[in-house]
């Protein structure tokens, strides 16, 4: 890569790429709220899709008022971090006129994403069969807690429930502690990612065949899909996986270790690294100990292994050990807080914090683009929208003039 190309690939905020963004020309209707749906649609928007966010008049996306603290305006920092590069249309889908407008919008759209409870869109008359009547090539993705079918499908589902009921919480934390969820919303974000790749695949198919399709994505299924190591152990041995703290069920040592001033993480996951570790620690006794001779025996004697290693690690600081281990070719690193992680030289180089100009908030921090493109780097093209900010512009694009707009307004299309 040239320096300029590398810079563009790393930042995602450089001057616009010479060629269109990959999803330019694709219209997405974002009929979703809170996290999984909006995050999925933001990923598409970052890559060039024209995402029109359909929001309830008056309140908008529930996340606008979330998080328990106020900025200058009415939108939370969470909303601002999941809705960049979108346009907002305030549309009352509880009104017949509002639903009629959505159907008209769907005629020229490529994708619709919704995350209402199963059955809601059908009752409103804007479910996939109805949308497919007006646009058979449209890809329609429904995101829910437990999917559109099955004994649990009618349950309300959030990330916490998906983590608990998928088994994720059963392997999180420590064996002698209370239930613990993953610190980040793995079911929500995981579902957003699975939905995004499914939408892209279906859209490619629709362009080739002219036929769209329905996508049923759930937080529960997505969380289950992350269980590769854990369920493989159960299916292979019959042993029910248990929480291991920072340890790994496939290799040891691979976890947090305590040094003289606190914890750091390290991993010696194969025989070569294990030998390097013992040599770095100047512990030939560990190499000679039959309990630690192989990965299997080290796993079987994990507690004794950690105790033996921490006797050595206690002699120096975590920073000193990280430096020594890395010098020996052994993976190691500090345990950072979010401020430390985002403030690190590496995160700064990777541009994982970017600033977006906002008409109310001024400069707003956003998480940067997690994947770098050399030719068409993602760009911030639009600030996170104000509620209904683009209603008039989108209606103009649809050919809905002032008189028809006034009639729709009178019929409750744009009011709560």
Please give the distance of CA 245 from its chain centroid, rounded to a whole number. Answer: 23
Bridge partners (DSSP) listed for residue 334: 264
Catalytic residues: 188
Q: Which residues contact 159 (CB under 8 A, 6 or more apart)?
A: 35, 181, 185, 186, 187, 188, 219
- Which one, of 171, 168, 162, lies nearest residue 241 by Cα? 171
Q: Which residues contact 54 (CB under 8 A, 6 or more apart)?
A: 29, 30, 31, 89, 91, 93, 102, 105
């Amino acid at each position: 890569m040239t320096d300029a190309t590398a810079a563009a690939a790393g930042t995602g905020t450089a001057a616009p790429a010479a060629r269109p963004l990959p999803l330019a020309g694709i219209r997405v209707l974002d009929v979703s709220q809170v996290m999984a749906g909006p995050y999925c649609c933001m990923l598409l928007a970052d890559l060039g899709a024209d995402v029109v966010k359909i929001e309830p008049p008056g309140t908008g996306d529930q996340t606008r008022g979330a998080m328990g603290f106020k900025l200058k305006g009415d939108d939370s920092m969470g909303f601002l971090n999941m809705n960049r590069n979108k346009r907002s249309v305030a549309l009352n889908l509880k009104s017949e006129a509002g639903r009629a407008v959505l159907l008209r919008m769907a005629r020229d759209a490529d994708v619709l994403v919704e995350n209402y409870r199963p059955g809601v869109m059908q009752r409103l008359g804007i479910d996939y069969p109805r949308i497919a009547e007006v646009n058979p090539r449209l890809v329609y993705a429904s995101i829910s807690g437990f999917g559109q079918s099955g004994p649990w499908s009618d349950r309300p589902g959030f990330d916490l429930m998906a983590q608990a009921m998928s088994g994720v919480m059963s392997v999180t934390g420590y064996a002698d502690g209370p239930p613990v969820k993953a610190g980040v919303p793995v079911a929500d974000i995981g579902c957003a990612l699975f939905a995004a790749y499914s939408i892209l695949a279906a859209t490619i198919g629709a362009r080739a065949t002219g036929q769209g399709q329905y996508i049923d994505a759930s937080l529960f299924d997505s969380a289950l899909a992350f269980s590769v190591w854990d369920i493989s152990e159960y299916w292979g041995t019959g042993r029910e996986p248990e929480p291991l703290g920072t340890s790994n069920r496939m290799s040891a040592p691979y976890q947090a270790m305590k040094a003289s001033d606190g914890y750091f993480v390290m991993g010696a996951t194969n025989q070569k690294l294990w030998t390097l570790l013992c040599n770095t620690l100047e512990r030939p006794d560990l190499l000679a100990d039959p309990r630690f001779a192989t990965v299997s025996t080290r796993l079987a004697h994990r507690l004794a292994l950690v105790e033996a290693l921490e006797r050595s690690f206690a002699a120096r600081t975590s920073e000193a050990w990280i430096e020594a281990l890395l010098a020996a070719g052994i993976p190691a690193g500090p345990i950072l807080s979010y401020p430390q992680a985002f403030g690190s030289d590496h995160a700064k180089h990777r541009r994982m914090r970017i600033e977006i100009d906002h008409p109310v908030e001024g400069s707003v921090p956003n998480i940067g683009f997690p994947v770098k493109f050399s030719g068409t780097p993602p760009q911030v093209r639009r600030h996170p929208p104000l509620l209904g900010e683009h209603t008039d512009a989108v209606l103009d694009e649809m050919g809905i003039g002032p008189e028809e707009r006034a009639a729709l307004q009178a019929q409750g299309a744009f009011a709560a």
